[in-house]
Amino acid sequence: MTSAPSSPSPRPGRPRSAEADRAILDATRAALVELGWSKLTMGDVAARAGVAKTTLYRRWAGKNALVVDAVADLFDEHLELPDLGSLQADIEGVVLRFAELLDRPETKTALMAVVAESTRDEALRERIRSAIVERQKGLVLLGRSRAQARGELPAEESAGAAARTADLIFDVIAGAVVHRTLVSAEPVDGEWARGFTALLIGGLSGAGAASPSA
C-alpha cells in the first residue's frame, strides 16, 4: 500500500506511525462523507486506511475521539480571521466561513454527534473544547480587540466583564450559525449574514447593553 521507505532503520519500529495517522484521519473524513456518523464503523475506517483495527485502537480510544480529531483538522485549516477593515465585515466573514465549514457533509454529520456524546463523557467534552471550541473563541477575542483598536467598540470595564462578554458573543455567533444550518436547515447566505451581523452590532454598540451591572 505504501512505498517501502529506503531508510535503513536497523530496528523495526514505527516508520508507519505518521503516515498511518494521516491515512486514518483521511479515511475517517471520507467515511463521514459517504456514510455519516451513525453508519461509520471502525472496521470500515481501518479497511479504507489499509490498516488493522488494532492500530486504530492503539491510537484512539474509540469512534468519538477519532472523529473529533478528524474534524478538528478541518477547523485548523479553515478557521482564520483576515482583517477585512471593519467590525461588520469581520463578523460577516467569519459567519460565512463558519457556515461553509458546517455545510460540509463531514462536519455537518459529525459535529452534533460528538457534542451529543460529550454530554455523557467528560474527557470527550474536554477534547472538543481544546480541539475546536477554544480556537473558535480565539477569533472572537481577536475580532473584538481589532474593533476596539479601530474605535468601533469601547474598551471593557474589567477583565471579568470582558471574558463574560466574549463568551456571550461566541455563543451567540456560533449558536446562531449552527442552529440555522442544522436545526432550521436553512442556508446561511450573504443576506442572512448581513441581517445577523446588523443585529449583533446593534446589540453590542447599544447603550452599554453588553455589560450588565449585576
Partner DNA sequence: TGCTAACCGAGACGGTACGTCTAGTCTTCGT
Partner DNA sequence: ACGAAGACTAGACGTACCGTCTCGGTTAGCA
Q: How far is the CB of 47 from DNA (least distance, A)?
A: 8
Verify binding: residue 199, a second copy, rule CB under 8 A: yes
Structure-block grid coordinates of residue 148: 476596539
What is the DSSP secondary structure assignment for residue 132, as one 8-state letter? I
Verify binding: residue 175, a second copy, rule CB under 8 A: yes
In angstroms, how far is CA 89 from the centroid of its own chain? 21
Instruction: Select the span of 18-26, 73-81, 145-153, 165-173 touching a second copy (CB under 8 A).
Output: 165-173
Residue 47 and residue 205: Cα distance in Å, rounded?
54
Verify binding: residue 178, a second copy, rule CB under 8 A: yes
Binding interface with DNA (CB under 7 A)? 10-17, 20, 39-44, 50-55, 57-59, 62-63
Site map 108..127 versus a second copy, x via CB under 8 A: xxxxxx-xxxxxx----x--
Q: Which is nearer to DNA, 10 or 151 (CB)?
A: 10
Structure-block grid coordinates of residue 190: 450573504
Compute the residue count for the chain: 214
Q: How many CB atoms lie within 10 A of CB 187?
A: 11
Q: How far is the CB of 57 from DNA (least distance, A)?
A: 5
Q: How far is the CB of 121 from a second copy (least distance, A)?
A: 9
- Spatial CB neighbours of 181, under 8 Å, sequence gap ≥ 6: 99, 102, 103, 108, 187, 188
Q: How far is the CB of 70 from a second copy (least distance, A)?
A: 15
Residue 86, burial from CB neighbour count under 10 angstroms (0-12, 13-18, 19+): middle
Structure-block grid coordinates of residue 6: 529506503
CB 177 within 8 A of CB 188: yes
Q: Which of 119, 19, 27, 124 is nearest to 68 (CA)?
A: 124
Site map 5..44 versus a second copy, x via CB under 8 A: -------------------------------xxxx-----
Can you give the binding site for a second copy, defined by CB under 8 A?
A: 36-39, 105, 108-113, 115-120, 125, 128-129, 133, 164-165, 167-168, 170-172, 174-180, 182-186, 190-192, 194-196, 198-212, 214
